[in-house]
Amino acid sequence: MAQRIMVLHGPNLNLLGKREPHIYGEITLQSINTQLEAKAEEMDLELEIHQSNHEGVLVDFIQEAPARCAAILINPAALTHYSIALFDALKAADLPAVEIHLSNIYRREEFRQKSVVSPAVNGVISGLGSQGYLLGLEALASLLK
């Protein structure tokens, strides 16, 4: 049976392709999910994919993850910089996790250069666009072996 990975997309990622394409590119969230599904199939993994603009909904998904999933791939988006709730949920879930950012947060505004989520995950991939999601999936597969 294939291992399942929960993929979480945070606030405003549903606007990818329209929102600031000079920063986030023109790829849509649906395209990223399609790429992830294809990669997961190649790797004999199952994905459970969610997007929410609401912090509490994302916390609920993380809390539910250990019952169904072996790992978490998360792009916390704006919540990266202030969500202690996501940090706490990831710590409590105690699953392998990788944090993804489409843009390089360290080349952005000063307030975007700190992640309060990062100390709760195994690794962070930042600045590689949608490729970062695929690399994150590969990293989680490696961690699960």
* Catalytic center residues: 24, 101
| Paired tokens of 114 | 């700190």
Cα–Cα nearest to 23, from 112, 124, 138: 112
